[in-house]
Amino acid sequence: MVWRRRRKDREEDDYEDPWEWDPFRDFDEIFRRMMRDIESVFRFGELGEGKPIVRGFSIRIGPDGKPEIREFGTKPMIRETGIEERKPLVDVIETDNEVQVIAEMPGVKKEDIELKATERSLEIRAEGENRKYHETVSL
């Protein structure tokens, strides 16, 4: 079940009726942030001419029953290399005895992917010929 807090000043375990949960309540804030990012890119010309802007988000229900919203897409150019860093679209699938992490990173070969794992997170880094990805996923 998914629960939503009615007001920010309430106690952590004081929740609203789950049947009144609105999954779209955070969309306005996400779209506002995306538009701000897009406007700043055009204002400062960070992407360069003719390059696409990729922005999006994925929503999934976490193991605690709360929705998790993750943003992905183009980040500003990294000045030293001239290659833009992106956040890959990542999906985490948990079963009883394993956790699968699926990351979409077009333009990158398997041998160019670097993974660093701890008990609670997985850091994904990859660099292809024209693309660079980085994401830290909570497990």
- What is the per-residue pLDDT across 44-81, written as a single tens digit (0 to 9) for each? 555 555 666 677 778 888 788 888 877 777 665 444 45
Residue 115: per-residue pLDDT: 94
Domain-by-domain residue ranges, the chain? 18-138
Span 119-128, pLDDT tens digits: 889 999 998 8
Span 7-50, pLDDT tens digits: 444 444 445 566 666 667 777 778 888 888 777 766 655 555 56
Task: Give the torsion through C-alpha atoms of 72, 49, 108, 126, to 10 deg.
Answer: -60
Is CATH 2.60.40.790 the right assignment for the domain spanning 18-138? Answer: yes
Q: Which of 103, 96, 107 is nearest to 122 (CA)?
A: 103
C-alpha to C-alpha distance for 69 and 34, rounded to whole angstroms? 13
Contact 88, 135 (CB under 8 A): yes
C-alpha to C-alpha distance for 42 and 45, rounded to whole angstroms? 5
Residue 18: per-residue pLDDT: 63
Q: What is the pTM of this model?
A: 0.45
C-alpha distance from residue 98 to each of 71, 93, 104, 135 (Å): 24, 8, 20, 20
Reply yes or no on whether the pLDDT at 5 is more than 50.
no
Ramachandran assignment for 73, one of left (phi > 0), alpha (psi -120 to 50 degrees), beta (any other): left
Task: Give the H/E segment covering residue 68.
Answer: strand 67-77
Q: What is the mean pLDDT of the chain?
A: 75
Reply yes or no on whether the pLDDT at 95 is more than 90.
no
Contact 72, 88 (CB under 8 A): yes
- Percent of all residues in the chain with a pLDDT value above 90, rounded to a whole number: 11
